[in-house]
Amino acid sequence: MTPLPDDLRLDRRRKAIIAAARELFVEQGYERATLADIVTRAGGSLATVYKLFGNKDQLLEAVVFESAASGEALIREAAAAGLAPVPTLHRIAKGLHEHFLDPDVIALVRIVIARSISDPQFARQFFERTANPTREALEDVFARWQANGVAMDGTPGFLAEMFMGLFVSDLQTQAISHGVGISPLPDRLQERTNFFIAAAGINRLAESPA
């Protein structure tokens, strides 16, 4: 029963609904966005939404968790490029900035925080899928550097936390408070990276670790 073509059709419906739902949640917030509007934008029928997702709450969960991405890949790629620590850090900083300050990501964070008032678990799960893997990837990079003789003041865990604070938490907070798109600070980013490098006591001339 339910041969493959049906699944494909359903899957197409599912993607269209999630895309429309994300747009409307982002524009108006969860409470104000209506299922009727979502269906209008996605095409199809309200009944299909209920068949696929059960109810509005579960639709939000699907939207958020299918959209949640971490900076893990980006960090591992930057570290694998074989550059010295200082330019690697600059590259990671730029990548994290581009990823976590993307207007869509900021919008998602807003929605998750709004929902965290009535559902604390929700926010925790979201950050566990986004911030945690990012921090762990950083930790790995720092640990490998230290193992290869690069001097750094502090444990990899602590330094990863500081890096996330400076390049994710703080910049996201600024984006939320001052409006998205007001922060494409190119040299400001380098200034921050240098701040981190100084605090971590990294030798600016350290070469690419084996």
- Does position 36 interact with DNA (CB under 7 A)? The reply is yes
Closest to its own copies by CB, 87 or 179? 179
CA dihedral 106, 111, 112, 114 (to 10 degrees): 120
H helical segments located in 29-119: 35-42, 46-53, 56-67, 72-80, 85-100, 103-116
Q: Are 46 and 39 in contact (CB under 8 A)?
A: yes
H helical segments located in 101-148: 103-116, 120-147
Between CA 44 and CA 38 the distance in angstroms is 10
Closest to its own copies by CB, 55 or 208? 55
Residue 9 interaction partner, one of its own copies, DNA, none, beta carbon < 5-8 Å per kind: DNA
Between CA 191 and CA 202 the distance in angstroms is 15
- Does position 44 interact with DNA (CB under 7 A)? The reply is yes
Residue 174 interaction partner, one of DNA, its own copies, none, beta carbon < 5-8 Å per kind: its own copies
- Does position 11 interact with DNA (CB under 7 A)? The reply is no
Residue 1 interaction partner, one of DNA, its own copies, none, beta carbon < 5-8 Å per kind: DNA
Between CA 162 and CA 89 the distance in angstroms is 13
- Does position 117 interact with DNA (CB under 7 A)? The reply is no
Element (H, E) at 3: none
Binding site for its own copies (CB under 8 A): 26, 28-29, 31-32, 107, 110-111, 113-114, 116-118, 120, 123-124, 126-127, 131, 153-154, 158, 161-162, 164-166, 168-170, 172-174, 176-179, 191-192, 195-196, 198-201
- Does position 50 interact with DNA (CB under 7 A)? The reply is yes
- Does position 151 interact with DNA (CB under 7 A)? The reply is no
Per the listing, tokens 């984006």 go with: 175
Instruction: Give the binding site for DNA (CB under 7 A).
Output: 1-6, 9-10, 13, 32-36, 43-48, 50-51, 55-57
